[in-house]
Structure 1
């Protein structure tokens, strides 16, 4: 027999209005509850949505040769000292009474690199692509948007290890193609853009965004070509307005007075010089770089068409790390010349909890939630009416066929057919099947 909706949802405590946010809509319709700021409980229907997203991710990653693992959420702080990330203000520590308590890992670069360091000794041991899906914990200073930004969340994190940079970049591209497949199957448009590597580090990275006015990131895209970037690293074609000089991070930058200097772009331009005094002394005055933050309507750096700004919700991020972590944590192997060589790494994340909220936000309509069929908790809600009973449903099972493969029955008592149909729309189910003694009615969203 079909699962019963009365056992999967909770009584609605307040009505929905056009101004109800998707975050509140998920709570009102019984997908989640929010016990306090930055925390969320996934209820049965919400967990089914998340599980479907996870299964799509698993299927695509397994198809390209990745293997799933489950790493401890407790991490040795010495590893974080070696990588220079121990003073990250977002880290939670375990109050276990020790002088140096374990870190509750918000991400697992340190742990996975330390693990792989014990597993590899020659090029034959590589490549390795391992991923996990699990809870992460971050001391988020500004929790917001329910599932969008919290202190506890579910994430898919994948790590690749290769013998050299060319093959590491092949792995990077392989995972990016898998991401395209994953987001395509989720049923919402996702935009990939060039991005800043931030605290994770690495030489280049890409973000994956759902375009929506509620998003807190700003994407810069070209109206004509495929140029796209996060505002943090976006560039523009040079203009001809008057110039001024500004000191940024110890560097004097001459730039157009109409645009502000982007410190991230300055740091990126100087990153190859590091702290090498000789290299820095060889820098020439007047070196040309694109170091200012663009404005909407500026010319594209690739084709000079107009740049467009959009708000977006980040749902994924890929990083090519090179040897940043493997050198710090001695994750190396002996090459053909019997010399120790650090593994070349990439890391790749998808915010699964955030995806639940982002999909809810961008797919909703005037009736309420509107889940894509691949991630809906159930594709079909069955409503009995017109004198029909569950025996009637059994009699018509062969006629209904595939409609019952992923279905739930709305058995809530003392509710009319019309009320249940409206509730099914509000809760986002893709289709409703009304079973009567004398026939079947199928209603598609």
Structure 2
């Protein structure tokens, strides 16, 4: 007899959640807390309770398995990170770092990510090129001083993250590591069942020259993705180049034009970005045209212009004017803010896409397809970093040159993140319905709830034992004082894939389907051995809702059903 695992002892659902259609207006973050998956002692903080912990453990188990199968080795980095490392990479000025001092006055931050620390560790460990490739990963809690935490786990001050880091001897080898990790990500997200997309993305504050976001398309998402109907490219809005569907010079004169000012790293060139006032500028697109532009100079618009205000200054400085391709000669341009000294010092770049794309425009990659927009929830991000961190932190390796002598090069890096807690929130958001959560079987708190509708509790114990022997994660709801209907509603509310009801027809038991079916594998499995069970279909014949199963077949039938969920 297997140990009898029960429905959580501390579980109380308010009657308002059990009324028909009562969940329609309950935000997912509130539903998590009302059902006791976790609590938030303060905005942005989280205490994980038994239901949430069970989902978390199953999800991390999946990620661990795929990371190890990809050749990654597990590490566990300290949550405290020395300020000196972040100062070397120039990221200590980040506004979202929790910063603190110890009793001796030394500065630290709570790790929001671990590029600095893992690079320092690798630099101390790499003995020669034979030590590479090196791939480390960890799953632990990170911290971010989020100014406006919201949506529960989706944007908090603490979050559980899987972060991995690769080190290689060359860009080519680093890209091989990158592609191997991308393949591992495909395996992780495929196992979780929920449809996902991989989108080209901006590298942002992490840096590097290549990155992809892993997204769930959903109306509640904060990100905007575009998919091209021609080349089928999927891109984050920050990486999407677009052309207007019609020639902007046709028809009426253009609307008002806005301008934003930037400087180059050496402060000797003023970059003026012109675009229609009803569009949103994407500064990162300017960098494609002016690579030396400083997008993080920290100066206000007036302070930037002050660098170019005097005639003497303009004699030795340059101006680059970048015109979005939606502008034309009849557009309503603002006055130039500084006095012209010599037009020879001014360069004008035209027909450059520098604003956010909008739905229905033409894809800037293939120039043929139409861009279709959608909202999405980011749950993972992969980056090719190159030497961004290895160079300032002196993570080097000696490699044989063409003449056989050793030369010292910086390690070439990649980093790879999955927002584990964010992933749980996203799947909960996407898979919920008017009955509550609807978890994929692989990460559900448990797979099946056994409910006894008879007075003989030994029958339930046998059912639990049969399911346990079949490898099914099962709980028995033996709570007193609650009717059968209430128990069924509550286990479906929590999102358990199957409900097994033991009633007066025992040894025939009923299996009610709550989980979402992702394919029809169960049909072929049952066709091979269908004796002792029958299926009741929905009226449209597209889905099964209940199975009547003999106790001797119960384990194999339930195990087969769960393979589809």
Give the TM-score normalised by the residue count of structure 1.
0.92
Q: 1:66-85 alignment to 2 at 5 Å?
A: 66-85=72-91
Partners of 1:266 and 1:84 in 2: CA distance: 22
The SS at the match of 1:412 is: coil
The answer to whether 1:330 aligns with 2:403 is no
Residue 381 of structure 1 deviates from its aligned partner by 0.6
Partners of 2:290 and 2:29 in 1: CA distance: 41
The answer to whether 1:3 aligns with 2:5 is yes
Partners of 1:35 and 1:370 in 2: CA distance: 26
Q: 1:46-445 alignment to 2 at 5 Å?
A: 46-237=52-243, 240-242=247-249, 246-249=259-262, 250-253=270-273, 259-271=279-291, 285-286=348-349, 289-301=352-364, 302-336=366-400, 337-389=405-457, 391-396=458-463, 400=467, 405-439=472-506, 440-445=509-514
Residue 442 of structure 1 deviates from its aligned partner by 0.5
Residue 306 of structure 1 deviates from its aligned partner by 2.1
Q: Structure 2 vs 1, CA of residues 59 and 260 (structure 1 numbering), >3 Å: closer, same or farther?
A: same
Residue 187 of structure 1 deviates from its aligned partner by 1.7
Higher relative contact order (CA 8 A, sep 6+): 1
Q: State the Cα deviation string for residues 99-143 of structure 1 (Å, max 9, x = none).
A: 332211111000000000011132111000100000111101110
Preserved contact between residue 14 and residue 28 of structure 1 (Cα < 8 Å): no
Partners of 1:193 and 1:26 in 2: CA distance: 29
Partners of 1:143 and 1:258 in 2: CA distance: 29
Residue 364 of structure 1 deviates from its aligned partner by 0.7
The SS at the match of 1:198 is: coil
Preserved contact between residue 143 and residue 150 of structure 1 (Cα < 8 Å): yes
Asked which structure has the greater CA Rg, the reply is 2
Q: Structure 2 vs 1, CA of residues 375 and 397 (structure 1 numbering), >3 Å: closer, same or farther?
A: closer
Preserved contact between residue 248 and residue 266 of structure 1 (Cα < 8 Å): no
Partners of 1:356 and 1:261 in 2: CA distance: 33
Q: Structure 2 vs 1, CA of residues 31 and 273 (structure 1 numbering), >3 Å: closer, same or farther?
A: closer
Paired position in structure 2 for 1:12: 13
Deviates more, 1:312-321 or 1:400-409: 400-409
Preserved contact between residue 380 and residue 431 of structure 1 (Cα < 8 Å): yes
Q: State the Cα deviation string for residues 408-438 of structure 1 (Å, max 9, x = none).
A: 1112111111111111111100000011353
Preserved contact between residue 186 and residue 372 of structure 1 (Cα < 8 Å): yes
Partners of 2:238 and 2:466 in 1: CA distance: 56
Deviates more, 1:281-290 or 1:77-86: 281-290
Partners of 2:345 and 2:188 in 1: CA distance: 46
Preserved contact between residue 241 and residue 258 of structure 1 (Cα < 8 Å): no
Residue 402 of structure 1 deviates from its aligned partner by 5.9
Q: State the Cα deviation string for residues 162-186 of structure 1 (Å, max 9, x = none).
A: 0000110111111111111101111
Paired position in structure 2 for 1:34: 40
Preserved contact between residue 225 and residue 375 of structure 2 (Cα < 8 Å): yes
Q: Structure 2 vs 1, CA of residues 230 and 396 (structure 1 numbering), >3 Å: closer, same or farther?
A: closer
Partners of 1:323 and 1:299 in 2: CA distance: 35
Residue 53 of structure 1 deviates from its aligned partner by 0.9
